[in-house]
């Protein structure tokens, strides 16, 4: 059995190597999310792959080894705020460029440190319990960024999470289920995001509101009612839920705008600072409308109002 001294030595080496990788990288660096074995994972070969896609540029498939890609702003611009970005993809794939690295680079221009999370995609072949795999990775990302905040020039009280579509569901899950750790958290580090940015998010797993594909991939084709309720995030909002900004299109035929409505209503009921903007037109993912500058600008305005920029 591994000794405490040996585990501490490995932890120190892991921390130093990760730190060196980021410190000496001129642009950004991808680092492993976990030290050693990945919790809740079955032994499997790493089959992750990126594939070109005409609509969204890049799709990432079969993530089984979660990671964070670190994007740090120039030191003279850094304002201490950080955002962990969860790309969407229906819990089947990840849009790691359009809803990942492209967004991260825009944040660094504003002085915000950004971290693109490649979270494990639910799959019975690689996960013991596929329903909690993504949440574990989101919580681990928050823990890791908060524990290394001083190294990366981040204010540990200004660490937010952003999610698109199913990535929005993951971000909202992290923001409503932070009191129960799904990971090892020896230091009892806060797993609560300080704010959330949810872009055309899946919120509910209920019939008629939630996105069926995301629910099937995360929970299976016929999940029990109690599991549906656990992952329907509108049911878990309380006064401690982080301040949240939501943006959606009323014309979204993939993820109904009702997802954003019901989450905002729950936030408002619990007196949580929140913002909601609904576009009258525009498809899911905002591929053609509204423009990036339009919807991202509204997120930035909301962040400025909360002194995050």
pLDDT band at 4 (very low <50, low <70, confident <90, very high): very low
177-235 residue pLDDT tens: 999 999 999 999 999 999 999 999 999 999 989 899 999 999 999 999 999 999 999 99
Residue 110 has pLDDT above 50, yes or no: yes
Overall average pLDDT of the 173-180 stretch: 98
pLDDT for residue 264 is more than 80 = yes
Kindly calculate the radius of gyration of the chain based on its CA atoms and give it in whole angstroms.
18
- Residue 280: the pLDDT is 97
Please say if the pLDDT value at position 89 is more than 90.
yes
Q: What pLDDT is stored for residue 113 in this prediction?
A: 98
Strand residue runs (E) in 33-81? 49-53, 57-61, 67-71
Mean pLDDT of the chain: 92
In the prediction, which pLDDT does 28 show? Answer: 80
- Residue 277: φ, ψ to 5°: -130, 130
Mean pLDDT to the nearest integer, 52-63: 93
Give me the sign of the Cα torsion angle 92, 295, 231, 180: positive
pLDDT tens digits along 271-301: 999 999 999 999 999 999 999 999 999 999 9
CA 289 vs CA 1, 97, 107, 125, 275: distances in Å:
57, 18, 21, 37, 20
Pick from 40, 233, 219: which is nearest to 133 by CA? Answer: 40
- pLDDT surpasses 70 at 136: yes
Residues facing 274 on adjacent strands: 244
Of 162 and 19, more confident: 162
6-30 pLDDT tens trace: 444 444 444 444 444 444 343 589 9
> How far apart, in whole angstroms, are the C-alpha atoms of residue 196 and residue 297?
15
Task: Name the pTM for this structure.
Answer: 0.91
3-state helix, strand, coil in the chain (%, to 5): 35, 20, 45
């Amino acid at each position: 059995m591994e000794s405490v001294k040996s585990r501490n030595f490995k932890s120190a080496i892991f921390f130093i190597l990760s730190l060196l990788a980021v410190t000496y990288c001129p642009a950004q660096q991808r680092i492993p999310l976990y030290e050693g074995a990945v919790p809740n994972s079955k032994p499997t070969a790493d089959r992750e792959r990126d594939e070109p896609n005409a609509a969204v540029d890049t799709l990432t498939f079969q993530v089984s080894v979660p990671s964070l890609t670190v994007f740090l702003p120039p030191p003279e611009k850094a304002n201490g705020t950080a955002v962990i970005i969860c790309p969407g993809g229906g819990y089947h794939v990840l849009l790691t460029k359009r809803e990942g690295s492209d967004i991260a680079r825009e944040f660094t221009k504003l002085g915000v440190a950004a971290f693109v999370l490649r979270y494990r995609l639910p799959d019975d072949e690689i996960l013991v319990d596929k329903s909690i795999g993504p949440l574990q990775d989101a919580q681990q990302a928050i823990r890791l960024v908060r524990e290394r905040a001083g190294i990366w020039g981040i204010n540990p009280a200004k660490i937010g999470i952003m999610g698109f579509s199913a990535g929005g569901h993951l971000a909202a899950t992290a923001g409503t289920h932070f009191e129960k750790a799904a990971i090892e958290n020896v230091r009892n580090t806060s797993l609560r995001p300080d704010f959330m940015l949810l872009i055309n998010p899946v919120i509910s797993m209920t019939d008629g509101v939630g996105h069926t594909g995301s629910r099937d991939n995360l929970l299976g084709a016929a999940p029990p009612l109690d599991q549906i309720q656990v992952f329907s995030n509108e049911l878990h909002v309380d006064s401690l839920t982080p301040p949240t900004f939501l943006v959606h299109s009323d014309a979204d035929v993939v993820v109904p705008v009702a997802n954003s409505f019901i989450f905002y209503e729950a936030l408002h009921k619990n007196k949580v600072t929140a913002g909601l903007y609904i576009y009258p037109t525009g498809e899911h993912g905002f591929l053609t409308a509204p423009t990036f500058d339009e919807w991202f600008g509204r997120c930035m305005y909301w962040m400025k109002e909360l002194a995050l920029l």
